């Protein structure tokens, strides 16, 4: 207790440099824990991009590729799935529901997804959250579109605006379907998933805009008006992929095997969760780099604290000599500087933790609304508590260097008056 009291009084006498050391450690700890919170939140949000779907089916390809184009709207399918095969799978006795997906067009750089109203009923993200409309309604007309939050924000769309879908995936389309414009019927709430960057139209609308096209271009001399299209049979010939929900998850591997062995055409069925984990393993390398950088920042802050203690040793030679002259044991001198380092580190850890949770409390709703990133504000995990303990111990150990150096300086050197 005596050593602790002496350490606190010594730090109080040098409060400015001590405060700067505490702030440096505090901000570095806040950064370290903040990166961990963001990493955990990003990983969880990534895993929750799609939930409640048992299988995703598409043409024969790798699981990651199927996930990329069907959920993240990245890349293209190797082939399509015929409508007959889709109906066969939908009628499987273990299948509870299916949602067809048709991709291939875009609107000013945003992917266009053709689907059915069931998509808005069955698509889930972040656990069991359902897609919700911020404005408007779901398809009431053949040429209605429901746009994601990012699409509406980036392009300034409101309900009732007219949009033209372009052919292909370029941000600038040289071929479009200007003769069959769509009306923005609804705008979805922010989800933090690829849904935000998607223009949703009816599956029949995808067939309608291509009814007078052939091999990726309009048929010369043939133009079918929207009124004529409405009277036609717009049943699709093929789709890009489909989401599948089962009556029981116990049947998931049985149904997956049946789809993978489907005799009429080569198909693939993947478990979204397994594919998401595989994809995260490819793109999640950056989290390790962030953690390393944060650890280096903490180490730099501790080194700064040690530097501060070392730079004050010359000023404290007389203090150390007086302590030894009145009978202070070696352990007292060693303990004094080590305790100062420990107190500074502990204060920095506490400050950094408080700043982190205060920042999370205020920033969480903003980050969730803008980026769809769900940051966890629960109590520190066992890993985080262990990390904080290691930082405090590292501060104590780092303080032993200046402590040993101070002890080794002679009593006579400290009592000598230098001119």
Q: What is the pLDDT of residues 122-171, one digit of tens each?
A: 999 887 889 999 999 998 899 999 999 999 999 999 999 999 998 766 55
Query: Which comes out higher in pLDDT, residue 405 or 75?
Result: 75
Q: Span 4-16, mean pLDDT? A: 73
Say yes or no: 237 and 292 in one domain.
no
User: What does the block give as tokens for 297?
Assistant: 């920042």
Q: What does the pLDDT look like over 201-259, one tens digit per residue?
A: 999 999 888 887 766 666 776 777 778 888 888 889 999 999 999 999 899 999 999 99
Neighbours of 371 (CB within 10 A): 15
From 18-32, 62-76, 392-406, the region with the lowest mean pLDDT: 392-406
Span 6-30, average pLDDT = 80
Judge whether 278 lies within some domain: no
Same domain, 41 and 59: no
How many domains, in total, are found in the chain?
Answer: 2
Q: Name the pairing type of β-strands 238-239 and 182-188.
A: unpaired
User: Are 252 and 295 part of one and the same domain?
Assistant: no
What is the structure's pLDDT at 176?
77
Q: Which residue has the higher pLDDT, 332 or 166?
A: 166
Q: Rounded to 5 degrees, what are φ and ψ at 102?
A: -130, 120
Residue 14 is predicted with a pLDDT of 75
Mark whether 233 and 381 lie in a shared domain.
Answer: no
Radius of gyration of the CA atoms of the chain, in A: 32
What is the number of other CB atoms lying within 10 angstroms of the CB of residue 395? 27
Q: pTM of this prediction?
A: 0.74
Asked whether residue 277 is assigned to any structural domain, the reply reads no
- In a domain? residue 335: yes
Residue 419, pLDDT above cutoff 60 = no
In this predicted structure, the answer to whether residue 415 has a pLDDT above a threshold of 60 is no
42 or 144, which is more confident: 144
- 96 and 236 fall within a common domain: yes
What local confidence, expressed as pLDDT, does residue 49 receive?
Answer: 87
Tell me what the pLDDT averaged over the chain comes to: 83
Do 66 and 108 fall into the same domain?
yes
- From residue 97, how far is each of 90, 187, 325, 416 by CA, in Å? 7, 25, 86, 89
Identify whether residues 42 and 75 lie together within a single domain: no
pLDDT for 6 equals 67
- pLDDT tier, 38 (very low <50, low <70, confident <90, very high otherwise): confident
Identify the domain boundary among 241, 270, 299: 270
Please report the pLDDT score of residue 35 as a whole number. 81
Yes or no: say if 391 and 33 are a contact pair by the CB < 8 Å rule.
no
Please spell the DSSP secondary structure of 24-74, one letter per residue.
HHHHHHHHHHHHHHHHHHHHHHHHTSSBS--EEEEES--HHHHHHHHTS--
Identify whether residues 36 and 74 lie together within a single domain: no
Q: Specify whether 335 is located in the same domain as 253.
A: no
In this structure, the strands spanning 267-270 and 133-136 are: unpaired
pLDDT at 31 over 70: yes
The one-character DSSP state at 176 is B
Model confidence at 59, in pLDDT bands (50, 70, 90)? very high
Query: Tokens 């409405």 belong to which residue?
Result: 230
Question: Other CB atoms closer than 10 Å to residue 212's CB: what's the count?
Answer: 18
- Residue 99 or residue 230, greater confidence: 99
Residues 6+ apart with CB under 8 A from 359: 30, 34
- Say how far apart CA 344 and CA 337 lie, in whole Å: 11
Residue 242, phi-psi category: left (phi > 0), alpha (psi -120 to 50), beta (remainder) = beta
17 within a domain of the structure (yes/no): yes
Q: 375 and 292, same structural domain?
A: yes
Helices 330-371 and 317-325 cross at an angle (nearest 10°) of 130
Q: In terms of domains, do 84 and 154 share one?
A: yes
Of 246, 270, 294, the domain-final residue: 270
Residue 323 has pLDDT above 90, yes or no: no
Same domain, 248 and 324: no
Domain that holds residue 196: 55-270
In a domain, 194, yes or no: yes
E-state strands within 316-360: none
Write out pLDDT tens, residues 251-290. 999 999 999 999 999 999 999 988 888 887 776 666 777 7
User: Which pLDDT belongs to residue 100?
Assistant: 96
| 360-365 contacts, C-beta under 8 A, 24 or more apart | 360/37
- What tokens does 91 get? 């009628």
Separation CA 245–CA 49 (nearest Å):
16
Q: Is residue 275 part of a domain?
A: no
In a domain, 256, yes or no: yes
Q: Which of 270, 304, 320 is the last residue of a domain?
A: 270
Domain contains 143:
yes
């Amino acid at each position: 207790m005596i050593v602790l009291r002496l350490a606190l009084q010594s730090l109080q006498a040098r409060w400015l440099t001590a405060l700067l050391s505490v702030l440096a450690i505090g901000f570095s700890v806040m950064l370290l824990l903040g990166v961990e919170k963001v990493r955990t939140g990003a990983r969880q949000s990534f895993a929750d991009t799609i939930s409640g779907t048992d299988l995703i089916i598409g043409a024969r390809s790798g699981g990651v590729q199927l996930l990329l184009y069907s959920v993240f709207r990245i890349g293209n399918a190797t082939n399509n799935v015929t409508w007959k095969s889709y109906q066969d799978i939908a009628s499987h006795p273990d299948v509870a529901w299916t949602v067809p997906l048709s991709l291939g067009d875009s609107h000013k750089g945003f992917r266009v997804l053709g689907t059915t109203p069931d998509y808005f009923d069955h698509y889930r993200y972040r656990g069991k959250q359902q897609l919700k409309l911020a404005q408007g309604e779901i398809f009431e007309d053949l040429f209605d579109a429901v746009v994601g939050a990012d699409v509406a924000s980036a392009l300034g769309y409101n309900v009732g605006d007219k949009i033209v879908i372009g052919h292909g995936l370029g941000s600038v389309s040289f071929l479009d379907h200007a003769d069959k414009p769509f009306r923005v019927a609804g705008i979805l709430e922010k989800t933090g998933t690829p849904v935000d960057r998607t223009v949703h139209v009816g599956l029949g609308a995808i067939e309608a805009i291509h009814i007078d096209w052939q091999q990726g271009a309009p048929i010369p001399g043939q133009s079918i008006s929207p009124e004529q299209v409405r009277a036609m049979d717009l049943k699709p010939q093929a789709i890009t992929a489909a989401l599948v929900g089962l009556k029981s998850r116990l049947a998931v591997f049985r149904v997956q095997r049946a789809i993978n062995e489907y005799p009429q055409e080569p198909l693939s069925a993947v478990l979204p969760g397994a594919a998401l984990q595989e994809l995260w393993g490819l793109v999640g390398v950056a989290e390790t780099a962030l953690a390393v950088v944060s650890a280096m920042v903490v180490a730099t802050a501790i080194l700064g604290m040690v530097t501060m203690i070392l730079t004050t040793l010359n000023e404290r030679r007389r203090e150390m000599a007086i302590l030894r002259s009145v009978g202070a044991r070696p352990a007292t001198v060693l303990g004094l500087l080590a305790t100062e380092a420990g107190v500074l580190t502990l204060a920095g850890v506490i400050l950094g933790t408080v700043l982190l949770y205060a920042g999370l409390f205020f920033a969480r709703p903003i980050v969730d609304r803008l980026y769809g990133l769900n940051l966890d504000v629960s109590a520190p995990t066992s890993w985080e508590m262990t990390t904080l303990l290691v930082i405090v111990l590292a501060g104590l150990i780092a303080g032993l260097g200046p402590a040993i150096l101070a002890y080794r300086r002679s009593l006579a050197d400290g009592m000598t008056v230098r001119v």
